[in-house]
Amino acid sequence: MTTLAGQAGAYGTMDGTGSAAQFGRPYGVAAQTDGTLYVTDFQSGRVRVITPQAVVSTLPPVVSHLRGWPWHRRGSAGGGGLGQPLD
């Protein structure tokens, strides 16, 4: 197993490259054919993107519904997230 981004034991929501990035509690992973990974971050309620170059970014929140559960806002305007995304 190889760690592409983040570090074991370093929790947070920081975007960055390689080990500079942080995840709260990564859960589900989906991959595109170009090597881009999409990771649901259970703790932060966000979807994170990892490029083949190990650059981690956070997708902007979307106002919608997921499996019947309303997505919600945290903090200031535009700070919304998913309510504990699983996959």
Query: Domain residues of the chain, as ranges?
Result: 16-81
**pLDDT truncated to tens, each residue of the chain (87 aa)?**
778 888 888 888 899 999 999 998 888 899 999 999 999 888 878 899 999 999 999 988 764 444 444 444 444 444 444 455 554
Res 62: pLDDT = 61
Q: 22: which 2 tokens?
A: 């942080």
What predicted TM-score, i.e. pTM, was given to this entire model? 0.69
Which pLDDT belongs to residue 75?
Answer: 42
User: What is the distance between the alpha carbons of residues 86 and 37, in angstroms, rounded to a whole number?
Assistant: 15
Bridge partners, 57 (sequence order): 49
Residue 66: its pLDDT value, please? 46
